[in-house]
Amino acid sequence: MLRLGYDIEFELPAPVAMVALLNVHPSRVADLRAPDQMCVSPPMMVENFIDSFGNRCSRFVAQKGALRLSNSTLIYDSGIPDPVSPSAREIPPQELPHEALRYLYNSRYCEVDRFSTIALELFGSVAPGWSRVQAVCDWVHSKVTFGYQYARPTKSALDVFTERFGVCRDFQHLAVTMCRALNIPARYATGYLGDIGVPASPDPMDFSAWFEAYLEDRWWTFDARHNKPRLGRVLMATGRDASDVAITTSFGVANLKQFSVVSEQIINEQLAV
Amino acid sequence: MLRLGYDIEFELPAPVAMVALLNVHPSRVADLRAPDQMCVSPPMMVENFIDSFGNRCSRFVAQKGALRLSNSTLIYDSGIPDPVSPSAREIPPQELPHEALRYLYNSRYCEVDRFSTIALELFGSVAPGWSRVQAVCDWVHSKVTFGYQYARPTKSALDVFTERFGVCRDFQHLAVTMCRALNIPARYATGYLGDIGVPASPDPMDFSAWFEAYLEDRWWTFDARHNKPRLGRVLMATGRDASDVAITTSFGVANLKQFSVVSEQIINEQLAV
Amino acid sequence: MLRLGYDIEFELPAPVAMVALLNVHPSRVADLRAPDQMCVSPPMMVENFIDSFGNRCSRFVAQKGALRLSNSTLIYDSGIPDPVSPSAREIPPQELPHEALRYLYNSRYCEVDRFSTIALELFGSVAPGWSRVQAVCDWVHSKVTFGYQYARPTKSALDVFTERFGVCRDFQHLAVTMCRALNIPARYATGYLGDIGVPASPDPMDFSAWFEAYLEDRWWTFDARHNKPRLGRVLMATGRDASDVAITTSFGVANLKQFSVVSEQIINEQLAV
Amino acid sequence: MLRLGYDIEFELPAPVAMVALLNVHPSRVADLRAPDQMCVSPPMMVENFIDSFGNRCSRFVAQKGALRLSNSTLIYDSGIPDPVSPSAREIPPQELPHEALRYLYNSRYCEVDRFSTIALELFGSVAPGWSRVQAVCDWVHSKVTFGYQYARPTKSALDVFTERFGVCRDFQHLAVTMCRALNIPARYATGYLGDIGVPASPDPMDFSAWFEAYLEDRWWTFDARHNKPRLGRVLMATGRDASDVAITTSFGVANLKQFSVVSEQIINEQLAV
């Protein structure tokens, strides 16, 4: 069982419309063991909808002043790390499901058109399928250095490729772009990822980004940042890239004041108490 | 009545999977007066589907050698130019329909994140609504010079903004990006646009690009390239930008050999014959 | 009188060749009141030369381990702030001295070719000469927000123009580029700039960047970051942009460990002691 | 013996200051067998100077109307192709002459800072010296496709690296950037290059671009576009990149109307007549 939650505070100089992707993904709703309800404070009308990527979104107009978005829920966790299937085949474009095709195309932070030759040069000789996606992850993981100071909102896959520094999202954008350039559908994913079964990170807990690649007959989780199967990943949203699945999108000024995320394993005793 | 059609030939050095957006948009199907059937030669199995943007797409695997895609159909045309509604209001983000929201976000050729201040500086003082979108079109139309030699596949709105040269798609990408940066939903559109009611262009007929902006309660046609209401526009597809609605997307090498488009007004006598 | 100095420490994982621009500019040597001698520790052979821009450079090969570069000197200061000459005329390209021409051209962080129209749109209607350069400074100063977290080595004028955040060097790169696009020679400058006659900055003292524009018959100091005449500016180097006048350029890995700069006014009594 | 010449015509809507680099480089002046005098028509005062890179430049203010720049001269040619010296050593930065250092730095079209890791990945394992520069040329030559339609003024090495199409200058920019990123000084060169000893090109004669790399104790000619030693290369100018050595730089509008270049071998009989 995992306890999930967040506490996010903004200061708004004026009323502002916002869209939040702060719920567990519909594909994981059946695993919830407590309501997954974003609390908005001060209380206001919140409208929920499913976007064109299948994510659960919330919309509201926050008034001037402090705004707090928080949540605390429980979710069943299988205790099984990200599945690994080395025999998963690469599917030629003509056999892909229609809805996977759009994850072959360009997006803001994934300039597939600028990577077609580069990707082929780097990974064209790797056996297709799982091993090729894994080779992309290995490459990105080993070539890019992580650091919070390297984050910036406009950073694209090409920037990551030349600068070789970045945060979670940058690792995934580069890997997603390489996959698409190799005609493997890939989509950006965000969600909870606690330090379960791994050494605790010294960094404050944040939401995490990873990506999914379509192989054989389904989407599989890959993570070019951590590059090893992890426990307790809980998906919130998928899209073409970070622009599609921002945790919050504000149509006006919203100054972030405080931000914390919780994602931790709880044992039954704890739960009972 | 309009006669529409195209004749496109490729030479394929190897079999290649393709996706084509070469049908009239579902919103115009009721106006068709003849079948809108893409002929593929040599004949092969073609699968049709509707993509996530609502466009009618065709998929097939073309064999090595010559490939010809052609069509000829008839469509009812109202004889009314693109509607103009100066009183159409700008809708604040919180009141937009859910499905319009995605047309506020970044896409490959529309780097909204890099234009937020620029757009505000240029158009922030213009009255919101129709007049603001029109001001964007006027600006782009007057500042960018058209020329086929300036086309290139990787050209983004920022490139157009700095270079000031481009083709149809470049004009629309810049205008779409400015609109989105102003929180006005805007989407890229492609289709037929003949020289009806305007001096005949010396250039060979091609498909055209324009864009749609969401104002008041619907999407409206704008065209930063021609910047005046036109007769006989027939929509084929809309998407976030040119990457979403390429006429043909080839997952492999496809060398274009020949390309022609027809879009002409026919009078009843002609039709009868 | 100003006391100038610095103390910079690197850790070198392997021997590395370096070039340093850490001396006062030849144009200010006559004002020195103490030797301006960079101390290199451990001691090693240092070669001095004047580069193609007229700057005094030092070259050496540092051994593996700790490297310390330090200096402390005194320089006569007129006590007069940066000169202001509103009547300084803009010189048409044909009348510029030969050696000023190269400061009209593109450089790495100053993409003049991408700003020619933008600069004209923004400043074409401003009276030429001093007032136009000042208008560029005013614009950059008011539109760009300062912040150390926004520094990155690859940031160009176009990045600053779209992102609107940056450090000293970014402000100057944007202003330099605008000037050049207006056919006004402009060059990037680095040197000492203490908090003399202004409220003390809460930030640790660093070298500063400003720029020089050629008007009438000479180069004049402008500073788009501070945008007001300052006391106690001591020039170290000028070049096309930051790439030409890096404080230190390392041809291999050099990890910065410590960095401090001193630039302070001293009164005679202090000097006597 | 080579006959060299050009005939360039502009139409100027208004008077415009120009700088031309249309003379043989000072290093080849001793080989001239006829005056190398640019004819300017209508006649006007032309000022000559040597720029900071050592190139011979001309400045003048052309009046409104037609402008013609032409020349025809003779130069002694050794009949020896570009020298090849596989044993030429790579010089570590600390042993380079001062004046070679600036050809290690960034310039507008050579973003060395964005290629440091890429260059090392591609060429780090190649033996240093001549073979490494040759490997860079081989790579660029084999990976980039030539085509006049791919020329554009703002195209940088990074654009060439991702797009893989270009003209002469693009090939050289990419190779120059790779060399600099490997700490090998490299500079851009322009001049005459006729079809001597090679199959005649179907393209109209133009000036050509190549580059020079510093190895052992001198600058050597390399050409990533043709990638084989050629006869009859006559240098006109060298600089950091194309921005430094434009054939003509106009400080205002100058519409090119006609352009032809001659560079052909003549045998003594022809010369006598």
CB A209 within 8 A of CB A146: no
User: Is the confidence at residue B80, as pLDDT, over 60?
Assistant: yes
**Is B154 in Cβ contact with D162 (below 8 Å)?**
yes
Confidence band, pLDDT 50/70/90 cuts, at residue D230: very high
Name the residue in chain B with its Cα closest to that of C162.
B114
Q: How far, in Å, CA of D134 to CA of D142, rounded?
A: 12
Whether residue A61 lies within 8 A of chain D, CB to CB, comes out as: no
Question: B203 or C109: whose pLDDT is higher?
Answer: C109
CB C101 within 8 A of CB B127: no
Q: How far, in Å, CA of C225 to CA of C238, rounded?
A: 17
* B107 DSSP assignment: B
Q: What is the mean pLDDT of residues B100-118?
A: 97
- Nearest-Cα distance to chain B for A106, in Å, is 6
Helix (H, G, I), strand (E, B) or coil at B10: strand
**If DSSP states are collapsed to H, E and C, what string results for chain D?**
CEEEEEEEEEEECCCEEEEECCCCCHHHHHHECCCCCCEEECCCCCEEEECCCCCEEEEEEECCEEEEEEEEEEECCCCCCCCCCCCCCCCCHHHCCHHHHHHHCCECCECHHHCHHHHHHHHCCCCCCHHHHHHHHHHHHHHCEECHHHCCCCCCHHHHHHHCEECHHHHHHHHHHHHHHCCCCEEEEEEEECCCCCCCCCCCCCCEEEEEEEECCEEEEECCCCCCCCCCEEEEEEECCCCCCCCEEECCCCEEEEEEEEEEECCHHHHHC
pLDDT at D91: 97
Amino acid at A69: L
Q: What residues of chain D, 66 to 125, have a C-beta less than 8 Å from chain C?
A: 92-94, 98-99, 101-102, 104-114
- Nearest-Cα distance to chain A for D51, in Å, is 33
**Tens-digit pLDDT string for chain C (273 aa):** 999 999 999 999 999 999 999 999 999 999 999 999 999 999 999 999 999 999 999 999 999 999 999 999 999 998 999 999 999 999 999 999 999 999 999 999 999 999 999 999 999 999 999 999 999 999 999 999 999 999 999 999 999 999 999 999 999 999 999 999 999 999 999 999 988 888 888 877 889 999 999 999 999 999 999 999 999 999 999 999 999 999 999 999 999 999 999 999 987 656 554
pLDDT at B206: 87
pLDDT at A270: 62
Whether residue D147 lies within 8 A of chain B, CB to CB, comes out as: no
Average pLDDT, chain B: 95
pLDDT at C100: 97
Q: How many residues does chain A have?
A: 273
Confidence band, pLDDT 50/70/90 cuts, at residue B199: confident
Q: How far, in Å, CA of B112 to CA of B105, rounded?
A: 7
pLDDT in tens, D40-62: 999 999 999 999 999 999 999 99
Q: What is the mean pLDDT of residues A242-271?
A: 90
pLDDT at D202: 80
pLDDT at C191: 97
pLDDT at D231: 93
Average pLDDT, chain A: 95
CA angle A100, A243, A7 (to 5 degrees): 115
* Joined tokens for residue D16: 């415009």
* Joined tokens for residue C97: 């001295």
- Please list the alpha-helical segments (H only) found in A63-156: 116-123, 130-143
HSE, CB side, 13 Å, CA atoms: give it for residue A224: 38
Q: What is the mean pLDDT of residues B122-144?
A: 98
Q: Which residue has the tokens 């149809």?
A: B168
Whether residue D162 lies within 8 A of chain A, CB to CB, comes out as: yes
Confidence band, pLDDT 50/70/90 cuts, at residue B271: low
User: Is the confidence at residue D63, as pLDDT, over 80?
Assistant: yes
pLDDT at C268: 67
User: Minimal CA–CA distance to A35: which of A60, A4, A56?
Assistant: A4
User: Is the confidence at residue A188, as pLDDT, over 70?
Assistant: yes
Q: Chain D contacts of A122, Cβ < 8 Å?
A: none
**Is A61 in Cβ contact with B102 (below 8 Å)?**
no
Chains touching chain D, criterion 3+ CB pairs below 8 Å: A, B, C
pLDDT at C270: 61
CB B166 within 8 A of CB B150: yes
Ramachandran quadrant class, D27 (left: phi over 0; alpha: psi -120 to 50; beta: rest):
alpha
pLDDT at B115: 98
Q: How far, in Å, CA of A185 to CA of B138, rounded?
A: 39
Q: How far, in Å, CA of B169 to CA of B144, rounded?
A: 12
Q: Which residue has the tokens 């022609």?
A: B260
pLDDT at A271: 58
- Name the residue facing A102 among B51, B99, B104 (closest C-beta): B51
CB-based contacts of A202: which residues, under 8 Å, 6+ apart? none
User: Is the confidence at residue A135, as pLDDT, over 90?
Assistant: yes
Q: How far, in Å, CA of B128 to CA of B108, rounded?
A: 26
Q: What is the mean pLDDT of residues A65-77?
A: 97
**Is C158 in Cβ contact with B115 (below 8 Å)?**
no
Q: How far, in Å, CA of A124 to CA of B54, rounded?
A: 34
Q: Are strands B145-146 and B165-166 parallel, antiparallel or unpaired?
A: parallel
User: Is the confidence at residue B269, as pLDDT, over 70?
Assistant: no
pLDDT at C20: 97
pLDDT at B268: 67
**Is C164 in Cβ contact with B117 (below 8 Å)?**
yes
Name the residue in chain B with its Cα closest to that of A62.
B94
Q: How far, in Å, CA of D240 to CA of D242, rounded?
A: 7
Q: Chain A contacts of B183, Cβ < 8 Å?
A: 251
Q: What is the mean pLDDT of residues B147-152?
A: 93
CB-based contacts of B103: which residues, under 8 Å, 6+ apart? B180, B185, B186, B187, B214, B240
Q: What residues of chain D, 188 to 207, have a C-beta less than 8 Å from chain A?
A: none
Helix (H, G, I), strand (E, B) or coil at C230: coil
pLDDT in tens, A8-26: 999 999 999 999 999 999 9
Determine phi and psi for A173, rounding to 5 degrees. Answer: -60, -40
pLDDT at C204: 77
